[in-house]
Amino acid sequence: MNIIFLGPPGAGKGTQASLLAGLYDIPHISTGDIFRDNIKRGTPIGKEVKLIIDAGALVPDDLTISLVKERLKREDCLKGYLLDGFPRNLYQAESLESVAPPDMAVNVDIDQDILVSRLAGRRACPNCAGTYHVSAVPSELCPVCGVKLTVRPDDVPETIRKRLEVYNSQTAPLIAFYGQLGKLLTIDGNQSIEKVCGDIVEGLRKE
């Protein structure tokens, strides 16, 4: 089963993709995590993308698409994938259709006013890439590996605004794109993490 996620930053795409990866035993592939890992390791790609990501802009398509294509060739994707953060514009969506088309686009629909508090309270583990919210995990330490949680450099008010603009102008049109292909499952993302997950599983079962 090949699944992609749509929804603005903070909608809960990564949270749901990581839960579904455990349920369906297919890999959760986050382009944002791939870039952050490159930044952490100081690779040439990491150096190329750091300023772009910190500014809330999109990394160039050619680089992003080639990283995704390479990742999808790995053996763990034979049963499918859960792509989180890709595609983010029409060009990326068309290129994915030509290599490994998704069976379904899960659109996590959420009220704009909730997003800012979700992003401002997001804490990330620099070691295992786990994502938590400060209201649910008030400890400074990752509950899985004990490493100190950090605030993503792009989860600051000005960059959050920019990322939402980029989402609205470049990524939101993909909702219509997948709708026309008959591959769209829209879920109410304003609910609890467990309820959102249950609705996605139920929605995918019916398709």
79 three-class SS: coil
Under 8 Å between Cβ of 168 and 160: no
- Nearest distance from C-beta of residue 54 to ligand ADP, angstroms: 16
Using CB distances below 5 to 8 A depending on partner kind, what does residue 35 bind out of ligand AMP, ligand ADP, none?
Answer: ligand AMP
Closest listed residue to residue 174, CA positions, set 112, 83, 99: 83
For ligand ADP, the closer CB: 73 or 136:
136
Cα separation, 105 vs 131, in Å, equals 22
For ligand AMP, the closer CB: 9 or 130:
9
Residue 79 bears catalytic tag: no
Candidates 6, 10, 39, 160; binder of ligand ADP (CB under 6 A) is: 10
Phi, psi of 103 (to 5 degrees): -80, -30
CA distances in angstroms from 172 to 88, 109, 151, 169, 198, listed in the order given: 8, 11, 26, 7, 24
| Contact footprint for ligand AMP (CB under 6 A) | 9, 30-32, 35, 52-53, 56-59, 64, 85-86, 88, 92, 154, 163
For ligand AMP, the closer CB: 1 or 52:
52
Binding mask 56-95 for ligand ADP (x = CB under 6 A): ----------------------------------------
By CB under 6 A, tell whether 132 contacts ligand ADP.
yes
Closest listed residue to residue 181, CA positions, set 76, 110, 79, 101: 101
- Nearest distance from C-beta of residue 31 to ligand ADP, angstroms: 11
Under 8 Å between Cβ of 35 and 54: no
List residues with catalytic annotation. Answer: 13, 88, 122, 152, 163
